[in-house]
DNA sequence: AATATAAATGCAAATGATTTGCAAAAAGGA
DNA sequence: TCCTTTTTGCAAATCATTTGCATTTATATT
């Protein structure tokens, strides 16, 4: 999603595009991998030393409600946030050594047959698929 | 896994099968769905009112390291623990209304072709797959 | 440009889940 | 029974995240 599109989306709902929001988005857009709130905070702080943690959290939360970012609970229990660029969602491979993540294109949800869910009387809204392991760097050690 | 097997497994590693551990296991075995530490605590407390939270946490953690229970981070960020009965692992459907979970047999990992992971230079150790939505009860409301 | 109003921020304190240090208690073997 | 090691309960600490509130900022209106 382009910054312009995001701005429109915010405006529509009565939200404003502040400097802080711009910076948070810039971070997320520059490297499209999942970041923790802490990581976003540290990086934003370089350009805007007065930034506060609650601003980071409030905005990541807001943007994830608006669908601008994806919020995900990886193994650790700490939330990770990633910009929602592509029109197709994707899943990840996560290194337990260094934390590096890579996108994978395979989506298991497309494989599942809806009868199985119907049988359970369940209407699905979302799903999560992640593979954990070690990247080649961490494997070598 | 039977209680006897579990006891052997603990003993082998120099651990003891205490009353508290027995009770925690009994809870997890009686209803084989994911429970939070809080839920386990509340239920154990009925039979052993002096039980402490740290005992619950320490043991759930230990048992998950030993593979006796599965520890999972569902959407909420609160850890859930489930006994590791079956010899085949399984995945879950989780109701966002009432929190009820149901097992599903479909495992996406079996579908993925290893070339894709090899290309990423990644050696996989585990994976997570969950479907979120609403059960028929919660849907009706 | 000055003013008005709602939204956003920084700060400090609260929260909730989980972890830790430590002294006392319990388990199991000698 | 005695000894050694593990386990427990308790209280306090930690870590991520959230909240209340006074102040500041963004933007629309005059
Ligand atoms: Mn991604
Ligand atoms: Mn299950
Ligand atoms: Zn998918
Ligand atoms: Zn699987």
Residues B16 and B43 both lie in one domain:
yes
Q: Which residues of B touch A75 (CB under 8 A)?
A: 73, 128
Question: Which positions ≥6 away from B141 have C-beta within 8 Å?
Answer: B97
Residue A44 pLDDT level (bands cut at 50, 70, 90): very high
∠ at Cα B139 (B136, B141), nearest 5°? 120
Q: Which of A19-28, A67-76, B107-116 has the highest mean pLDDT?
A: A19-28
Residues A47 and A104 both lie in one domain:
no
The sheet with strand A35-36 has its strands ordered as A35-36, A79-83, A69-73
Residues B14 and B33 both lie in one domain:
yes
Q: Which residues of B touch A95 (CB under 8 A)?
A: 122
- Residues spanned by the domain of A28: 3-83
Q: Global pTM?
A: 0.89
Q: What is the pLDDT of residues A77-115, one digit of tens each?
A: 899 999 998 888 999 999 888 888 899 988 999 888 777
Number of compact structural domains in chain B: 2
Helix (H, G, I), strand (E, B) or coil at B103: strand
Residues B78 and B12 both lie in one domain:
yes
Closest CB from A77, A120, A125 relative to B77? A77
Distance B81 CA to D11 C1' (A): 26
Residues A96 and A78 both lie in one domain:
no
Q: Which residues of A touch B127 (CB under 8 A)?
A: 129-132
Least confident of A58-62, A82-86, B40-44, B75-79: B75-79
Domain boundary, last residue among B64, B83, B102:
B83
Residues B78 and B127 both lie in one domain:
no
Query: Strands (DSSP E) along A62-138, which ranges?
Result: 69-73, 79-83, 91-95, 101-104, 122-135
- Tell me phi and psi for residue A80, to 5 degrees: -120, 145
Q: What is the pLDDT of residues B47-64, one digit of tens each?
A: 999 999 999 999 999 999
User: In angstroms, what separates the C-alpha of A56 from chain B's closest C-alpha?
Assistant: 18
Closest CB from A108, A127, A130 relative to B132? A127
On chain D, which bases lie within 7 A of the protein's CB atoms? 5-12, 16-20, 25-28
- Measured in whole angstroms, the distance separating CA B106 from the mean position of its chain's CA atoms is 18
Q: At what angle do helices A37-47 and A53-65 cross, to 10 degrees?
A: 120
Residues A60 and A30 both lie in one domain:
yes
User: In angstroms, what separates the C-alpha of A4 from chain B's closest C-alpha?
Assistant: 31
Cβ atoms of residues B83 and B33 within 8 Å: no
- DSSP β-bridge partners for residue A101: A94
Q: What is the pLDDT of residues B7-39, one digit of tens each?
A: 899 999 999 999 999 999 999 999 888 999 999
């Amino acid at each position: 999603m382009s910054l312009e599109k995001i701005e429109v989306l915010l405006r529509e709902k009565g939200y404003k595009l502040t400097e802080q929001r711009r910076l948070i988005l810039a971070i997320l857009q520059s490297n499209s991998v999942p970041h923790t709130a802490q990581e976003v905070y540290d990086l934003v702080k370089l350009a805007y030393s007065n930034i506060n943690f609650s601003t980071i959290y409030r905005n990541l939360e807001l943007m994830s409600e608006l669908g601008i970012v994806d919020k995900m609970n990886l193994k650790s229990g700490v939330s990770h946030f990633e910009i929602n660029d592509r029109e197709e969602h994707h899943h990840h491979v996560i290194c337990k050594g260094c934390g590096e993540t890579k996108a994978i294109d395979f989506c298991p949800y497309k494989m599942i047959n809806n009868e199985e869910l119907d049988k359970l009387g369940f209407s699905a809204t979302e799903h999560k698929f992640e593979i954990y392991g070690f990247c080649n760097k961490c494997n070598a050690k």
